[in-house]
């Protein structure tokens, strides 16, 4: 049986695509390995959001080229955003590569590999499925049983943020039918998954192509003082209706999250869904990018800092205790010291408890290329460090405030120290004691009640008081297409910072 290894760079979207590639390959008779050296096929699933991520791909291909000298039959496949962005330029500049495949062409992977393995020439397949969008269904029975899983609800992006390459690499927005989404979540829950995260580049712009959803309560109701009515009406989507359909049709699901929403679509109907659906977690990741209106305009984000603050405040008011995290870019072209201070001020006002911060990186095919990249690297790095200091302060205060309180934790694996750890509904990381881990029923997938005893810089330590839902010792699996039992695929994940 030929062996494959998928190496993932970048975001959850790529991790999700990697799982689909693994499933497609296993169904075609390949076996998963986490050892690149043992693999007959290595798939590099790439990210191009920042230049550094692209450089990582080039060095990884160089390293694999050395393996290929010893093992000429090794097939090197490049997938994901760099594949889509570069197409045949990749094969021209890196001749070690055998196959370049775009995110919409994953189902064709086995046929393309078969062609190469029987002597075919290097190939490039990067075609968007704009006319007939398709979403590869996840097959939980082929992968490892986990506490949490991702379910894609849309692909592509219709926003045109001036710094961002995603609209170019992922194409226009295409949505998945709500019935397909609900069916996939049911399949995950049947295999023991407790928590689902809905995935999309602007996940809350969702509209159901099958028109099967009812209008959600709250659509078009209370408006925001900082957003003009016609604009606010345009921002409504069917995302709240989708959340309600999931909550109603999959009652055994314990936690529902989503990423990444766009602030524009944080509408009254979505806020009401958060207020009324207990399954929705009390934590939302809401990318803001900057706190300066001047920079937000140049970024083409289509909201002001006042709108962002008003909408997130309304969400926090509707759901007491809800926490927010965000993405921010520092050193965008033309960002002054004053603009940057406005970003810090917004972080303090909204009180983000965590944040992914990035220094601006020029990307091909983006409108911001026309602007001069005039903030020097040292200034960008210094601003990023200051930004993290402010967020760390917010986080430490928040974690300290939890000592002595109770929480429910979904156990998701052993921590670095070897003890069990998990996350609360608000996404705080909680470590359990070694003694707790020995309790029957306390394993990955268990939901446990804990008392928070100590706060660290990034996490909490807690004492288990009750097992709410035990871990499943045996997972009932639906029939699979596999003829021989296989080890669950193990993924190598390269974090790109
Ligand atoms: N769709 C999501 C959104 O709207 O926030 C996420 C897009 S992207 C995969 C994740 C993050 O990368 C963005 O939120 C942004 O902060 C960052 N990013 C995107 N392009 C960038 C660039 N050219 N330079 C630096 N950071 C960038
Ligand atoms: Fe990129 Fe903006 Fe789309 Fe997010 S919303 S993927 S940042 S263009």
Compute the distance between CA of residue 317 and CA of residue 311 in angstroms, rounded to an integer: 10
Spacing, Cα 196 to ligand 2 middle (Å): 22
Residue 458 makes CB contacts below 8 A (sequence gap 6+) with 395, 399, 429
- Maximum Cα–Cα distance for the chain, whole Å? 66
DSSP state of 280: B
Q: Which region, left, alpha or beta, applies to residue 379 given φ > 0 means left and ψ of -120 to 50 means alpha?
A: alpha
Report pLDDT digits (tens) over 352-363: 999 999 999 999
Which residue reads 């330029």 in tokens? 89
Compute the distance between CA of residue 492 and CA of residue 486 in angstroms, rounded to an integer: 18
Spacing, Cα 456 to ligand 2 middle (Å): 33
Does ligand 2 come within 6 angstroms of the Cβ of 201?
yes
Compute the distance between CA of residue 380 and CA of residue 412 in angstroms, rounded to an integer: 35
Compute the distance between CA of residue 198 and CA of residue 221 in angstroms, rounded to an integer: 25
* Confidence at 436, pLDDT banded by 50, 70, 90: confident
Residue 35 scores a pLDDT above 50? yes
Q: Cα 453 from chain centroid?
A: 30
Which atom of ligand 1 lies nearest, measured to the CA of 262? Answer: 4
Compute the distance between CA of residue 497 and CA of residue 477 in angstroms, rounded to an integer: 36
Report pLDDT digits (tens) over 161-179: 999 999 999 999 999 999 9
Q: Cα 279 from chain centroid?
A: 19
Q: Residue 140 class from Cβ within 10 Å (0-12 exposed, 13-18 middle, 19+ buried)? A: buried
Which atom of ligand 1 lies nearest, measured to the CA of 164? Answer: 20
Spacing, Cα 51 to ligand 2 middle (Å): 16
High-pLDDT (> 70) share of the chain, %: 93
78 and 61 Cβ atoms separated by less than 8 Å: yes
pLDDT at 44: 96
- Which 3 state secondary structure label does DSSP give 115? helix
Q: Could you tell me how many residues make up the chain? A: 497
* Confidence at 316, pLDDT banded by 50, 70, 90: very high
Q: Which of 287, 375, 387 to mutate to test the pocket of ligand 1 (most atoms within 8 A of CB)?
A: 287
Residue 236 scores a pLDDT above 80? yes
pLDDT at 415: 72
* Confidence at 319, pLDDT banded by 50, 70, 90: very high
pLDDT at 233: 74
pLDDT at 489: 42
Q: Concatenated DSSP letters for 208-249?
A: -TT--PPPPTTTT-S--TTS-HHHHHHH--SHHHHHHHHHHH
308 and 350 Cβ atoms separated by less than 8 Å: yes
Which residue reads 């934790």 in tokens? 409
Does ligand 2 come within 6 angstroms of the Cβ of 157?
yes
Query: 406-414 and 420-424 as β-strands: parallel, antiparallel, unpaired?
Result: antiparallel
Which tokens sit at 463? 């004492």
Among 61-65, 113-117, 196-200, 436-440, the range of highest mean pLDDT: 196-200
Residue 445 scores a pLDDT above 50? yes
Which tokens sit at 351? 């009180």
Does ligand 2 come within 6 angstroms of the Cβ of 203?
no
pLDDT at 221: 76
Which residue reads 């960008």 in tokens? 380
pLDDT at 37: 86
Report pLDDT digits (tens) over 277-293: 999 999 999 999 999 99
């Amino acid at each position: 049986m030929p062996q494959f290894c998928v190496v993932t760079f970048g975001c959850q979207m790529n991790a999700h695509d990697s799982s689909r590639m693994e499933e497609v390959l296993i169904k075609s008779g390949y076996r998963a390995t986490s050892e690149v050296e043992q693999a007959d096929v290595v798939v590099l699933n790439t990210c191009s959001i920042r230049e550094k991520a692209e450089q990582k791909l080039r060095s990884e291909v160089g390293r694999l080229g050395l393996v290929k000298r010893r093992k000429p039959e090794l097939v090197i496949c490049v997938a994901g955003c760099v594949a889509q962005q570069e197409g045949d330029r990749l094969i021209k500049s890196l001749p070690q590569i055998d196959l370049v495949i775009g995110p919409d062409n994953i189902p064709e992977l086995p046929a393309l590999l078969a062609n190469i393995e029987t002597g075919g020439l290097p190939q490039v397949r990067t075609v968007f499925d704009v006319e007939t969008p398709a979403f590869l269904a996840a097959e939980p029975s082929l992968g490892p049983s986990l506490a949490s899983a991702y379910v894609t609800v849309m692909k592509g992006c219709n926003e045109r943020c001036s710094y961002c390459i995603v609209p170019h690499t992922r194409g226009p927005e295409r949505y998945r039918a709500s019935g397909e989404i609900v069916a996939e979540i049911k399949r995950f829950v049947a295999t023991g998954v407790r928590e689902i995260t809905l995935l999309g580049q602007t996940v809350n712009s969702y509209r159901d192509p099958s028109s099967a959803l009812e209008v959600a309560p709250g659509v078009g109701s209370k408006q925001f003082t900082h957003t003009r009515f016609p604009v606010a009406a345009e921002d409504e989507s069917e995302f709240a209706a989708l959340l309600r359909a999931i909550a109603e049709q999959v009652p055994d699901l314990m936690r529902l999250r989503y990423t990444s929403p766009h602030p524009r679509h944080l509408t009254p109907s979505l806020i009401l869904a958060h207020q009324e659906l207990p399954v929705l977690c009390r934590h939302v990741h809401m990318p803001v990018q900057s706190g300066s209106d001047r920079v937000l305009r140049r970024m083409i984000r289509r909201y002001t800092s006042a709108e962002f603050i008003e909408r997130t405040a309304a969400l926090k008011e509707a759901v007491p205790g809800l926490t927010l995290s965000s993405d921010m870019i520092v050193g965008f072209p033309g960002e002054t010291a004053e603009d940057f201070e406005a970003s810090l001020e917004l972080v303090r006002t909204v009180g983000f408890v965590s944040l992914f911060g990035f220094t601006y990186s020029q990307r091909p095919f983006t409108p911001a290329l026309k602007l001069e990249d005039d903030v020097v690297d040292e200034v960008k790095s210094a601003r990023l460090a200051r930004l993290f200091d402010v967020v760390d302060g917010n986080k430490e205060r928040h974690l300290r405030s939890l000592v002595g309180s109770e929480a429910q934790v979904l156990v998701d694996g052993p921590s670095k120290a070897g003890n069990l750890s998990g996350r609360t509904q608000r996404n705080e990381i909680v470590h359990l004691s070694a003694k707790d881990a020995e309790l029957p029923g306390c394993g990955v997938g268990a939901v446990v009640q804990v008392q928070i005893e100590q706060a660290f810089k990034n996490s909490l330590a807690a004492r288990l008081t009750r097992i709410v839902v035990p871990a499943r010792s045996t997972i009932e699996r639906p029939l699979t297409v596999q003829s021989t039992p296989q080890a669950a695929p193990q993924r190598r994940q390269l974090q790109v910072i």
